[in-house]
DNA sequence: CTATATTGCGCAACCGATTACATTCAATTT
DNA sequence: AAATTGAATGTAATCGGTTGCGCAATATAG
């Protein structure tokens, strides 16, 4: 009998000869309920294996205590770490998280937004897909006054809270480091889709070159989809075309990894002949030979900040709240792939 | 005005001078509603930016079309791929997924189960935490007749649907492969917690040795927590203690990676002097030097199967449904770390 | 010893969609 | 022309908590 129907507060109530409202208040520790009945109620609840129905509460309250998270994929250290950072804060406040993956697919992303809105999440924290160029779905979220926070992959076409790292500075520091290690012709791998992160990194690359009196050569900027295979292919093409370069700064660790493999395959010594640096500090970067210099995106703190902004927004009056943009400082993690004996620049020909 | 309150079917109804029930039926494409009104309703819905309230529907229907997924962490290729496999099937059937992470923490796991039950998910698909030894929370799920499917990290103390790979066979084939490459003293890294996956792999290890007339030496079985650092430490200890071995079969890719680093650090050639194989086929295994032989856990198919079992269970009569256990065949991915010139066994003395 | 507060709990409406059971009206049958 | 049928929609209860308001009983004040 109690197999099919789940226990409700009404069951508890009739068992104790009181009303459901009293049970509800008792369970919620309402001050106007005596300790005696509170004890009775909690005991009865345990006895009949009562499980609160959050659906009912959510319907009545208009809030579900759920945060929707949308990421391109969870199968990337960066994203899963941000999620963890969000969860840390959310769990403390007794909020739960629904994670959804867009798989870099725009239609999917739009669909997920609708699903989350229908699921009546209290808000959304997301990083947009690479292929998203239309932001009406985000507008719809804003129109409904649902709190929205963007991180890492952001857009300025919607006024919302944003958390990013200083991609510009990350790139700048990396290139500066390469220059300090004596590299003269630094190539740059980037993505043709000019979402914020890639364009910022490219700005940093260019400015760092200029700041050190090096010319910016368009031929050294190689566009691709930035996956492992792309990195391999780019290097091969560069070598086959006789392009002169002695370092690569890749906006993606995966492409950097591909570059590393291709260079090794062609017998080019890293870091002696060619220096290499990636972006993202994926865990495998410390496993490669040589280990890969990369930029750490402080993912957990980013998740923390995103969640904090979210809750700020949740409490605020949407009319007078002005969206904020938080910029975190990335860390350059220097490893073997870019470290040459301090002042032995020009040690490798190739460029000359 | 429509800023604060979200649109409901009642708003649509009064706008059109009909009732909410008609609107509901129109939106659900009920056959008894005329095409004319259906068109009117869908148009009006679009006009006022109506978003169905799944919470209300879920309350009324008793089903949320949500599946709860619990994994130790999503930041592991295996788990995130299984999730993807589940999503593939679930999305086709218009079900959504709530992903939660236990972070290998028992209390957290119990808490998540309660939260999901309260959120009234239609069922749960999970892989239990390493530290879970008490399964009452799973019993509670079963008692409530909530569909439950376990994958990879399972337990036999609860009668539920299970999906696993044949860990025994994966290990057996790996060890056989090592033997075929001439390795004679094969060590095994395992976890002291004897959850199914580790004990099965160990059985496979032992049986493969015996089947090839090699003695099983307890000293060659090393227990640790199987993280990167543990792998490093184990190898160092083995070397320092003068333990004779010429191959390592690790139940974890991470520990195998640590072993690889430690061996290289000590100047031991892989695979020439020591062969190495891991388990899990984490992406980084193909990035290392030498690349790491490992066992692929067919994660996406595992997710597919788990989801299929789930929906089977969802439709079935809980009284007469008998739980099933599906066993998938893993793939041994042979890479450099275990491949020596075919028949040149004993080429390396090892200990000295 | 009244008058006012406070405590403890019940009443009933409500959240938004769904659906079994009418009801209406026109078309079809007899 | 009355009766039957069926199409199209309305009525109202329901899912399970939550909460403003009210009322009785007890406590405190004056």
Kindly report the three-state secondary structure assignment for every residue of chain A. Answer: CCCCCCCCHHHHHHHHCCCHHHHHHHHCCCCCCCHHHHHHHHHHHHHCCCCCCHHHHHHHHCCCCEEEEEECCCCCHHHHHHHHHHHHHHHHCCCEEEEEECCCCHHHHHHHHHHHHHCCCCEEEECCCCCCCCCHHHHHHHHCCCCEEEECCCCCCCCCEEEEECHHHHHHHHHHHHHHCCCCCEEEEECCCCCHHHHHHHHHHHHHHHHCCCCCCHHHEEECCCCHHHHHHHHHHHHHCCCCCCEEEECCHHHHHHHHHHHHHCCCCCCCCCEEECCCCCHHHHCCCCCCEEEECCHHHHHHHHHHHHHHHHHCCCCCCCCCEEEECCEEECCHHHCCCCCCCCCCCCCC
pLDDT number for residue A35: 96
Do B54 and A287 lie within an 8 Å CB cutoff?
no
Do B114 and A64 lie within an 8 Å CB cutoff?
no
Which residues, in sequence order, are bridge partners of residue A71? Answer: A101
DSSP per-residue codes, B221-241? EEE---SHHHHHHHHHHHHHT
Q: To the nearest whole number, what is the mean pLDDT of chain A?
A: 93
Which residues, in sequence order, are bridge partners of residue B134? Answer: none
CA–CA separation, A309 and A323 (whole Å): 9
Question: Does the pLDDT at position A12 exceed 70?
Answer: yes
Band the pLDDT of A193: cuts 50, 70, 90: confident
The enclosing H or E element of B126 equals strand B123-126
Do B55 and A55 lie within an 8 Å CB cutoff?
yes
Mean pLDDT of A158-179: 97
pLDDT number for residue A4: 52
DSSP 3-state of B274? coil
Band the pLDDT of A350: cuts 50, 70, 90: very low
Which of B51, B81, B115 lies nearest to residue A117, judging by beta carbons?
Answer: B51
Question: Does the pLDDT at position A309 exceed 90?
Answer: yes
Q: For residue B140, which residues of chain A lie inside 8 Å, CB to CB?
A: 49
pLDDT number for residue B11: 96
Mean pLDDT of A174-201: 95
Q: Residue for token digits 């042979």?
A: B334
Q: Residue for token digits 């909690």?
A: A42
Contact (Cβ atoms closer than 8 angstroms) between residue A207 and residue A238: no
Q: Where are chain A's structural domains?
A: 9-52, 61-165+298-328, 167-297+333-338
pLDDT number for residue B1: 37
Distance, CA of A34 to C1' of D20, in Å: 20
pLDDT number for residue A3: 43
Residue of A3 and B158 predicted with greater confidence = B158
CA–CA separation, B196 and B200 (whole Å): 6
Residue of B nearest to A290 (CA): B289
B42 touches strand D (CB under 7 A): no
Measured in angstroms, the CA of A105 and the nearest CA of chain B are apart by: 14
Question: Does the pLDDT at position A345 exceed 70?
Answer: no
A48 touches strand D (CB under 7 A): no
CATH of A9-52, one of 1.10.760.10, 3.30.70.2860, 1.10.260.40, 3.40.50.1110: 1.10.260.40
Question: Does the pLDDT at position A65 exceed 70?
Answer: yes
pLDDT number for residue A347: 41
Q: Which residue stretches of chain B have pLDDT < 70?
A: 1-5, 341-352
Number of other CB atoms surrounding residue A107 within 10 Å? 11
Q: Do domains B9-52 and B167-297+333-338 have the same CATH topology?
A: no
C-alpha distances out from residue A189 to A101, A133, A209, B78, B260, Å: 26, 22, 15, 29, 30
Class of domain A61-165+298-328 (CATH, top level): alpha beta
Architecture of domain A167-297+333-338: 3-Layer(aba) Sandwich (3.40)
């Amino acid at each position: 009998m109690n197999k099919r129907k789940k226990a409700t507060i009404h069951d508890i109530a009739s068992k104790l000869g009181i009303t459901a409202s009293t049970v509800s208040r008792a369970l919620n520790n309402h001050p106007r309920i005596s300790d005696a009945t509170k004890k009775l109620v909690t005991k009865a609840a345990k006895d009949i294996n009562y499980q609160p129905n959050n659906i009912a509460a959510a319907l009545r309250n208009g809030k579900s205590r759920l945060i929707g998270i949308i990421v391109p994929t969870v199968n990337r250290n960066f994203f899963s770490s941000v999620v963890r950072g969000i969860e840390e804060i959310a769990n403390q406040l007794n909020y739960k998280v629904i994670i959804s993956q867009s798989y870099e697919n725009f239609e999917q992303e739009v669909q997920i937004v609708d699903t989350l809105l229908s699921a009546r999440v209290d808000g959304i924290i997301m990083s947009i897909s690479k292929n998203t160029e239309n932001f009406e779905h985000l507008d719809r979220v804003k129109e409904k006054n649902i709190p929205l926070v963007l991180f890492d992959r952001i857009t300025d076409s919607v006024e919302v809270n944003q958390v990013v790292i200083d991609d510009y500075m990350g790139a700048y520091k990396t290139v500066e480091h390469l220059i300090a290690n004596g590299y003269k012709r630094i190539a740059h791998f980037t993505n043709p889709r000019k979402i914020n992160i890639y364009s910022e990194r490219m700005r940093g690359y260019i400015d760092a070159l200029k700041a050190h009196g090096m010319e910016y050569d368009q031929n050294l900027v190689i566009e691709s989809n930035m996956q492992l295979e792309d990195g391999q292919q780019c290097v091969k093409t560069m070598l086959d075309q006789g392009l002169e370069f002695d370092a690569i700064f890749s906006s993606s660790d995966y492409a950097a990894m591909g570059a590393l493999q291709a260079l090794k395959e062609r017998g080019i010594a890293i870091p002696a002949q060619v220096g290499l640096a990636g972006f993202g500090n994926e865990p495998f970067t410390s496993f490669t030979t040589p280990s890969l210099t990369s930029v750490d995106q402080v993912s957990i703190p980013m998740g923390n900040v995103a969640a904090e902004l979210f809750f700020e927004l949740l409490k605020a009056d949407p009319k007078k709240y002005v969206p904020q943009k938080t910029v975190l400082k990335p860390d350059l993690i220097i490893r073997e792939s870019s470290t040459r004996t301090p002042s032995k620049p020009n040690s490798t020909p190739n460029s000359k």
